[in-house]
Structure 1
Amino acid sequence: MKEFLSDENIKFLYLDISENMLNLKTFLKYRDSAPEFEEIKKAGRVGLPCIVINNGEEIVFDKASLDIEELKK
């Protein structure tokens, strides 16, 4: 997804959860509390990659469901 967002000239902050504890904790905060992750957790999956938009306003797992033009604003 990182390459996809870059190719589309969309500004984003990339966090690698294996880089440090803060990044992992940030991801786990969303994963443990956001309803978008419920089905993923039930299936025993992690939920990565994902895109968190506007501090959790929306969480997207499939780039095909992104509104590219809206993200470019």
Structure 2
Amino acid sequence: MKVYGTEICIDCRNYKAIQKTRGFEAEFISITSDTSSLKEFLTLRGREPIFDEIKAKGGIGIPFFINDDGRKTLDINEALSWIGQEPVSEEEMPK
């Protein structure tokens, strides 16, 4: 699974904390670490209908998850289900 995000986003930091605590593998692509990663994300954001609602509300659309089989989501629990993980509980969310 690939995860597009950035360390300056609270939802992305929460995702990374959950990944670290649970110890599962996923490729985190920081869209603010270099321009090639940003361009890659912006291309996806420009083409994928999954972003339409987010863009209409002025959002960015991160974290953004892409499964190895091509499925895409903005929902962390859906993405976790792809790799056999349980949904995130309130207790797991960083404070």
Give the TM-score of the pair, scaled to structure 1.
Answer: 0.75
Query: Deviation at 1:64?
Result: 2.2
1:63 maps to 2:76: yes
Residues 33-69 of structure 1: CA distance to partner in whole angstroms, max 9, x if unpaired?
11111111111111012212227x2222221223141
Counterparts of 1:65 and 1:53 in 2: how far apart (Å)?
10
| Root mean square deviation of aligned Cα | 2.0
The structure whose residues are more often strand, as a share, is 2
Aligned length: 69
Q: CA deviation at 1:3?
A: 2.3
Distance 1:35 1:5 in 2: 27
Which structure carries more relative contact order (alpha carbon 8 Å, separation 6+)? Answer: 2
Q: Which runs of 5+ in 1 are unaligned?
A: none
